[in-house]
Amino acid sequence: MTDVPRLTIHEIRLAERVVSMRLPFRFGSAEVRHTCEIYCQMVAEMDGRTVQGVSAQLMVPRWFDKRDALTNEDTVQELRDSTKAAVTVATGLSGTVATLSEEIGWKTPARLPADLPALAAGFGPALIEMALIDALCRGAGLPFHKAARADLFGLAAHLPPDVPAADFIKALTRIGAPGRVTIRHTVGFDAPVSTRPHDAPRDGLPVTLSEVIAATGISAWKIKLKGDPDTDAARLLTLQETLGGLMNGGVTLDANEQYAPDAFRAFLRRLKQPDLATIAARIRFFEQPFAREIALQTRNDFGVPLLIDESDDDLSSFATALKLGWSGTSIKSCKGVLRALVNMARAQRAGAVLSGEDLTCQPGLCWTQDTAMAAACGVIDLERNGHHFAGGLQGASTLEREQMVAQFPQMFTAVGDRVDLVITNGMVDVTGLSAPGFGASSAILAN
């Protein structure tokens, strides 16, 4: 392995952009119509040189913390607080990306309320980690996949006990250059199927499921569940009529913690009925059916592949899930890029599923960074339709929008004053992510 660079963090600046939804974004019991995207810009020293790194994440209400007593804004404020605490902890520290990420990760929660869920407490450290990775990649003149493959982050020296260094290094050698990614479109529980709602935006972009199919050629689907067997079965019957033979990329089902185990068993029995045979045959896995409080105490004896997502709130979570017979985990940059690399090695060793589950990634830096991470980890398709619910690179300057399209013409296109994804036959060409930086960020500045 190459010598691992050390960085000293001198300054971190934060900024926010308001993001308004063109369509309501609903998952579980939450509805989001507006929120903010947070940007981080870091100045650090590496090998005696000043380097800069940037990162971005959408602050999604009521996903990191779903407690009923909190409002959408309450939960967004928690993410701000996590980020500000992480900035305070990080400024002035020196080390490798791995040692810095570890120190920031364990020091930040001590500055936050004791009852804050680990997912929310980890948001700020993950954002700082992404900027660190970008700074290193820029300083080394390498794209993310090459820096990861060479372990310039120093992660091989800081692995959890269940991941042998030899297995991790072997997994790194399999990382290749980004090519094309298949887009898996999220179908919300009440998303319109074929009839446009009377209040649908008149922006020329798809709204209904039928319009999405016609515009993009997508054939991979992620369907949101509500947690009630009869209601969910009825919804699947409706979708089966529209999707028909347009499910070549498979179907995944996401309950966002809505099911109790007994109700989930009833739902699985309902899926075995002949009227649902077409869509049931295309189901690849079920994502986070149970609340995070019980999921990693529940053995998978359900006879179907189960993946954790909200339960993946700690470096040890996936290892626990594997011991309980679960089949995989999702990776998201908002949960940690280095954790994703460790979980890639775990998945390869166990023959488990590594999925890309994040519909909130907005076109721009958030999208390119999360996608670069997932592509390097070998994820076969990605839940990616933040562009559908919001998108447009909202809040960016004209210069930034022009730079984005100019550097990534295969990925992004200008539609009026919006920047949107270029989806062809259900796929996006991400070869542009082979440029230096994390997510080829040299053309993207946080304004």
Q: Tell me, what's the pLDDT at 358? A: 87
Residue 298, SS3?
coil
Kindly state the average pLDDT of the residues 212-236.
97
Kindly state the average pLDDT of the residues 151-167.
97
In the chain, the percentage of residues whose pLDDT exceeds 70 is 98
CA distance linking residue 116 with residue 109, whole number of Å: 8
How high does pLDDT run on average in the chain? 95
Portions of the chain given CATH number 3.20.20.120: 180-443
CA distance linking residue 266 with residue 286, whole number of Å: 14
Portions of the chain given CATH number 3.30.390.10: 7-173
The tens digit of pLDDT for each residue in 239-250 reads: 999 999 999 999
In this structure, the strands spanning 251-254 and 328-331 are: unpaired
| Angle at CA of residue 426, ends 421 and 431, nearest 5° | 60
Residue 21, SS3?
strand
CB atoms within 10 A of CB 75: 22
Q: Tell me, what's the pLDDT at 443? A: 56
Q: What's the whole-model pTM score? A: 0.96
The tens digit of pLDDT for each residue in 186-201 reads: 999 889 999 999 999 9
Residues forming a β-bridge with 11? 43
Kindly state the average pLDDT of the residues 102-118.
98
Q: Tell me, what's the pLDDT at 30? A: 82
Across 29-38, 91-100, 209-218, 232-241, least confident range: 29-38
Helices and strands counted in the chain (H then E): 16, 15
133 by Cβ neighbours in 10 Å (0-12 / 13-18 / 19+) ranks as buried
351 by Cβ neighbours in 10 Å (0-12 / 13-18 / 19+) ranks as exposed
The tens digit of pLDDT for each residue in 372-399 reads: 999 999 998 999 989 999 989 999 989 8
Which CATH superfamily hosts domain 7-173? Enolase-like, N-terminal domain (3.30.390.10)
CATH code: domain 180-443 is: 3.20.20.120
Kindly state the average pLDDT of the residues 289-313.
98
CB atoms within 10 A of CB 195: 10
Q: Tell me, what's the pLDDT at 385? A: 87
The tens digit of pLDDT for each residue in 117-136 reads: 999 999 999 999 999 999 99
Q: Tell me, what's the pLDDT at 26? A: 82
Q: Tell me, what's the pLDDT at 25? A: 85
Q: Tell me, what's the pLDDT at 441? A: 66
Kindly state the average pLDDT of the residues 351-359.
94
Kindly state the average pLDDT of the residues 83-89.
98
Identify the band that residue 447 occupies on the pLDDT scale cut at 50, 70 and 90: very low
Residue 2 predicted with pLDDT over 70: no
User: What is the torsional sign of CA 91, 93, 95, 98?
Assistant: negative
